[in-house]
Structure 1
Amino acid sequence: MPQNAPSHTLCHTPRVSTMPVGLTPDRLGWSTQRRITAMTQPVLLVTRDGSIVTLTLNRPAVRNALDLTLARALESTARELARDQTLRAVVLRGAPPAFCAGADLTERLSLSPDERAAHTEAIAAAVEALADLPVPTVAAISGACLAGGAELALACDLRFADTTARIGFPEVRRGIFPGAGGILRLPLLIGPGRAADLLFSGRTLDAHEAYQIGLVDRLCQPDQLDDAIAEWLSELRQAAPGAVRAAKAALRRVLTTDAVTLADIRSLRRTLDASPEYEEGLQAFAERRLPHWALE
């Protein structure tokens, strides 16, 4: 357990009001419920409560899997938010029942290797845009938080989870590895040994183990997650906005991910996007079976 972790596993926070939805744009000077759509389906919801913005991944039928449309919407929205000087914090969550199950593998089945690489790059761009936000970011994790979804969570400054959360990097079980910076961020967060365990095995952690190793910062009962985040945001509002932005910029310098190393990792990942192993991994996913690797 991290040194700064409390001895108890679950947080018990007082009941406070959660962030309201539906404030009018004329009151906020910003689009309260901005919908970015693919056809008629809204894939990203943006809700603003004063200086706090909540981004909700909204593809619940596929556990908020990241297709190209959602990845690009998330990137463009994060880039836009980065220019907003009135912003204090961003909360990222998924529409129930999950946070995000990772890349949309069903979509990838129909893509060429070059198109798969472009899909990977789009997710990586969304992750980097989230990481580049100059204000504190909080991942509100409930349910599945896997692969690219876990990389989104790692790009946030804090990870609040409820006891239904399941977090993992199962990419190696599909013939690839995390390609959106998670392979750099994970060892900084939990250490190289634990990172190797998760990245090499592809196993999934339950919420309690994720909290114990420091992958999750706050663990709550499902009905307490919103309140725990609201309480933390209330504490944040007591801090000077400029000082918080400066502190985050300084922290990023300490925890920076080397651009050259990141480019090398993406090059390795592009090679795997065109590999026979990844093709077998995708086919196994489509056929709901275990993959058959050449060395076995």
Structure 2
Amino acid sequence: MELNLAGKVAVITGGSSGIGREISLSFATEGVHIAIIANDQHKGDKVVTECRNRGVDAVFIGCDVSDESSLQAAVNDAILEKFGKIDILINSAAPYVRTGGQINTILEQKPEISERFIDVILKGAIHSTRTVLPFMMSQSWGRIIYIGSDVGRTGDSHQPVYAASKAGVVGLMKSIAQFAGPHNIMVNCVSPALTLTEEDEELLVKNYGWGTEEGKKKLTGAYPTRKLAVAEDIANMVVFLCSDRASDLTGQVISVNGGFCMM
């Protein structure tokens, strides 16, 4: 299946770790040049090297997506200066505070943790979209993907603000899809459930008993497929949605979750 992505330029927020890292590498495999926006320079440099080893150009820009002025500077001064265009935007940034405060009720979660989820996940997606969209409109082609979460659709008593942030991303996605459609810009959301990544393993062990065979069996028993997705599963869907094979698909939430949430 020809995806016709070679030579495109993708901006991936949160592209240095977890699902974002796998998305970066999957795009690089398809010949897409990569611009990673994230906070961790060490991890970002490693992913850039891995992307370049796949034969594409890649750059890391250290930036906090919750700071819109810094994000605009990163796009204008670093990404456009280097590549001259932006074809794809992947909103994957999320704060790494999970084991330190995500799995808490609304009464237990520290206010600063709640604010960080909103600032990075929801406001960050707004900032990056507002920054990149004009360039896509000027070239009458673009793909924007938001990484959502099933808890943003179902709610979760122990992840209320994280869930609210991800739900907000879905509303943003649908609104941008309506606005950008006439400019040949397709906008969608990929919604995972729990996903096996190196960063989330501690969360799985601490909160879901993933460290034991009994715990793994109990957790995966909630999934019709009896397994958790891996980051590559999410990345495969993202790459497809950005290809010519999905040229009339927009405004949709696509679940990649082993059937955990069917809606």
Q: TM-score, normalised by structure 1?
A: 0.30
Q: TM-score, normalised by structure 2?
A: 0.32
Larger Rg: 1
